[in-house]
Structure 1
Amino acid sequence: MRISLTRKLTYHLLRTYLPSLLFVCLGWMSMFIPIEHIPGRVVMGMTALLTVSSMFGATTTVTPPVSYATKLDFWMVGCICFVFAVLLEFIVVITLKYSIIDRDEGLKEAKIPAQVHPVNNLGLKVGQDGWVASVSKKSGNTNEDARKITRKVDKICIRVYFGVMVIFNIIYWLDVWMTNQNHGQTPKSDGTYDCFRLN
């Protein structure tokens, strides 16, 4: 005799799937905040990550303990990875921004031979080693260039993030649907199922 146990989808749909998906979307929407607003992006990303992580821990208390990973576990781990990717993208973008600024902006001193640039004409001070300090001009467009580059990276990451999230959902729910088909369930007249296997 074979006994097949299933769980109602409605409970986890309202208590786990929908809230976790909303927090993943919250992390995605934080990428629309300009890079200059660092506190806003960090707060939204960290809030989403901590909330999804606590939800993952809460699901273990309402589901029977098993010795293998369930589909619900894969879903929650996927949501955590998505939210973590938002914070990782922010770190990459902010590092890129300040690396551009450090490279192109600020006072840069370069030693040049005094024989090549007469001191009397340039009005520069000669050191004891016979070299003079030359100060390069600040680039007024450095901040603007850094902002454009980081914003372009943000836009690319927004599209990639959304595409991967859609693909993940398609694969996940197709797998859930096919699992239930393989266990002999047939859809009702409205095309829905009474229950879904989540393990």
Structure 2
Amino acid sequence: MDYTINIFLRRKWTDARFRFNSTHYNLTEISIDPHRYGDIWSPDLFFTNEKQARFHAITTPNHMIRINGDGQVFFSSRITLTAQCPMHLDKFPMDTQTCQLVLESFAYTTDIIQFHWSQEEKEEQKQINLSQFNLINTSHHERVKSYKSGDVQRNFTRLIMEFVLERDYKYFIIQTYIPSILIVSLSWVGFWISYDSVPARITLGLLTVLTLTTQSYSILQTLPRVSYVKAIDVWMSTCLIFVFLALLEFVLVNTSHRKITRRSIKGNAQLPRKANSAKEDDENHRIWRYNEIRASTVDKCARAFFPLAFLIFIIIYVSVYTAMSDVKYPHD
């Protein structure tokens, strides 16, 4: 998992070789041609979690180099880079992610060079809204990273910038949660359809199962493949279970009704022929009426049980995942 960011990398250091008499030349600072940026020594800064990066060169190399009389060099470059960001999707889509941009010296240890965040460059944080995330906070850290090369332990300056991104789940409410709730609710319509309307109830049950399966598959296609269960997985799986149980309820009711009916017909067929008259008709009608009331009672119970159980699930689901704390990515 990664993110792409467009930044202005501004560095400032002092190089005694660039000192000049600003009074003599009547200059407070001089500007260097951006095409000559490779001719000036600069700290060997690199991004440790970078996957790919590039400088901008339209319409000219996007570098600004200024040197004042004290030999202080100000070097600004525009960079677009893609960096790694280990995300924890347990609460997706109600998650908050912490991504980092890590800078470090490549070859110079802390004995030679040290990096620090410029206090004067820090600006007041403004909330930035992205397509799926809201940038709610940023923070800066300075660390010393130790590497062991053979028997020698070397320390390097490390700068860390953290972005706290809160996912905007309103999109998923509209595109995922509401449609799945409607599909599950549609499966309950079968409880109001007569149990002997087999084609109608079977078609309704299979249609809702297939629709929910297709929706779940399309959602998973847009997410990274991870080995743990996400909040959206729990939601879609439970919705599928409710739809399947609604179909199973009809199958059980219809099967039970047919078994009892066949048993009664078989019993009446074993009676003497002359006895199979009005008494037989009354018995068949009584059994048929009993089966109808029994099936109707099961459907009536299902009309109340399924919505109530689904409502309880929604309350538990929202309560658990909003109370669950996000997994934070610790900085070194």
Question: If the length of structure 1 is used for normalisation, what is the TM-score?
Answer: 0.72
| Counterpart position of 1:137 | 280
| Counterpart position of 2:177 | 17
Say how many residue pairs are matched: 161
The alignment partner of 1:34 has SS state of coil
The alignment partner of 2:280 has SS state of coil
| Counterpart position of 1:127 | none
Contact persistence 1:105–1:142 (CA under 8 A): no
Q: Is 1:152 aligned to 2:292, yes or no?
A: no
Identity of aligned residues (%): 27
Deviation at 1:63, TM superposition (A): 1.9
RMSD: 2.4
| Counterpart position of 1:7 | 167
Distance 1:22 1:162 in 2: 12
Q: 1:8 to 1:63 in 2, by over 3 A?
A: farther
The alignment partner of 1:67 has SS state of coil
Letter in structure 1 aligned against 2:280: K
Find 1:40's aligned residue among 195, 200, 213. 200
Distance 2:165 2:236 in 1: 21
| Counterpart position of 2:320 | 175
| Counterpart position of 1:67 | 227
Distance 1:39 1:167 in 2: 31
Letter in structure 2 aligned against 1:137: E
Distance 1:174 1:104 in 2: 51
Greater RCO structure (CA 8 Å; 6+ sep):
1
Q: 1:148 to 1:103 in 2, by over 3 A?
A: same
Structure 2 residue runs of 5 or longer lacking an equivalent are 1-97, 100-163, 328-332
The alignment partner of 2:213 has SS state of helix
Distance 2:303 2:230 in 1: 29
Rg larger for: 2
| Counterpart position of 2:68 | none
Deviation at 1:5, TM superposition (A): 5.2
Deviation at 1:84, TM superposition (A): 0.3
Contact persistence 1:49–1:83 (CA under 8 A): yes
Counterpart mapping for 1:47-62 below 5 A: 47-62=207-222
The alignment partner of 1:15 has SS state of helix
Q: Is 1:86 aligned to 2:246, yes or no?
A: yes
The alignment partner of 1:35 has SS state of coil
Distance 1:5 1:74 in 2: 23
CA deviation profile, 1:6-53 (whole Å, cap 9, x unmatched): 422122111111111100000012211111222111111111100000
CA deviation profile, 1:151-171 (whole Å, cap 9, x unmatched): 011111222212211111010
Question: If the length of structure 2 is used for normalisation, what is the TM-score?
Answer: 0.45
Distance 2:258 2:166 in 1: 53
> Larger % of strand: which?
2
> Larger % of helix: which?
1
Deviation at 1:92, TM superposition (A): 0.6
| Counterpart position of 2:160 | none
Deviates more, 1:157-166 or 1:100-109: 100-109
Distance 2:270 2:208 in 1: 45
Structure 1 residue runs of 5 or longer lacking an equivalent are 112-122, 125-133, 185-199
Deviation at 1:110, TM superposition (A): 5.1
Find 1:163's aligned residue among 294, 305, 308. 308
